[in-house]
Amino acid sequence: MTTRRERSESVVVEGRVVADFGREFLVEFADRRQVACTRKGKRQDATCGDFVEVRLTGSGQGSIERVGTRRNLLFRSDQWRDKMLAANVDQVVILLAPKPPFSEAFLNLSLVACEAARLPVVIALNKSDLPEHPAARKQLDPYVEIGYEIITMSAKQDVGPLMPHLENKLTLLVGQSGMGKSKTVNALVLSDVARVGELTASRDSGTHTTTFSRFYRLDKDTAIIDTPGFQSFGLFHLTEDQIGEAMREFRPYLGACKFNDCSHLNEPGCAVIDAAKKGKITAPRLSFYQVLIEQHRDLHEQHPEWSR
C-alpha cells in the first residue's frame, strides 16, 4: 500500500520488475513492498529483472516511468513478434528431461540465444529417476565436449544438485513444456510461488500467472526467474554472423575461411566445414547451423524490412 505522503506527492520510487504479465507488471521496492504497475503509454518495453522508476498512482498501483540500462537481455523472436524473457541475469539454466524426450533443436536454439546475449549456461537434465535418463544423458556428451556444464537431478525427489549452481546468482530458467520446470520451481520456492499467485489473483490476473516471467528469491543473494514453457525459440533478431559466433565450437575457425563472407554452408575452403570433416565439430551441430541459416535467409527474404 502507498502511504498518504506518497499519494499526495506522487513520489517516484526505484524498484525491480518481479513479474511480467504483458500489460501489467509487479514491481518490488527496496523494502520488499510489491506494487502492480503499468507501463506509461503503449510501450511494453519492461520485463522481469528490469530496474525501473515507478510513479505511485494510488493504492497499491503505479506507472513505470523509466526502464534502467540493462547489462543483458534475453528474448526470443519469430515472424510475428518479439518476446522478452528477462533482463539483468547472471546465467541461464536450460531444463531438459528424457520423457517426454527433449528436443535437441530447442536446446541448440536456446544455446545460440544465450551465447549471443553473452550469458553463461548450465544444462540440467531432470527426471533422473526415470529409466530413460542414462540414454538421454549420453545424448548430451557432445555438449560436454563443447564446454557446457551438465548436471542431473530429479525435481520430484531432490533439487539438491541444482542448488550450488544457483548460489549468489540471478538465474533464468527456460525449458520446453513437460520438462518438469514447474516442479523444479515449486521445490525451490513453493511459498513464494503461492504468494505471487495470491497477488496476481487479487488483481484478476490469475489466469496469466503461468504465461509470463516471474522472479522468486531463494535468499537475499540468490534468486531465479521462471519463464513459461514453450516449444520453439525463434532467433530471427540475430544476424548470420551473430549466429555463427554463438556456435561456441565454431569460434576457432571463424575468419580462417577462404572467403571473407563465407556462410559455412557449402563454400569451398570453408574452415568450419573442414573442421567438421576432421571431427572437431559434430555433424549434427553443423547441420543444425546450416538449416538455421537457410531458414533465416528464407524468412528475411519474405520480410526484407527486418534486415534494415
Domain range list for the chain = 4-67, 73-226, 240-307
DSSP string over 45-87 = ---TT-EEEEEEEETTEEEEEEEPPPS-EEEEE-SS-EEEEEE
Residue 224: all three cell numbers together: 531465479
Its CATH architecture, for the domain 4-67, is: Beta Barrel (2.40)
238 has a pLDDT exceeding 70: yes
Q: Which residues contact 220 (CB under 8 A, 6 or more apart)?
A: none
Residue 97: all three cell numbers together: 528431461
7: helix, coil or strand?
A: helix
Other residues' Cβ atoms within 10 Å of the Cβ of residue 4: 7
User: Rg of the Cα trace of the chain?
Assistant: 21
The CATH code of domain 73-226 reads 3.40.50.300
Instruction: Give pLDDT, residue 79.
Output: 55
Its CATH architecture, for the domain 240-307, is: Orthogonal Bundle (1.10)
Angle at 227 between CA 80 and CA 229, to 5 degrees: 70
Q: pLDDT tens digits for 167-217? A: 999 999 999 989 999 999 999 987 545 444 444 444 444 333 445 789 999
At 9, the pLDDT band (50, 70, 90 cuts) reads: low
Instruction: Give pLDDT, residue 209.
Output: 40
233 has a pLDDT exceeding 80: no
247 has a pLDDT exceeding 70: yes
Q: Which of 250, 263, 166 is nearest to 216 (CA)?
A: 166
CA-based max dimension of the chain: 72
Q: pLDDT tens digits for 16-46? A: 999 998 788 999 999 999 999 988 765 678 9
- The span from the CA of 286 to the CA of 275, in Å, is 10
293 has a pLDDT exceeding 50: yes
Instruction: Give pLDDT, residue 60.
Output: 72
125: helix, coil or strand?
A: strand
2 has a pLDDT exceeding 70: no
- The span from the CA of 279 to the CA of 202, in Å, is 57
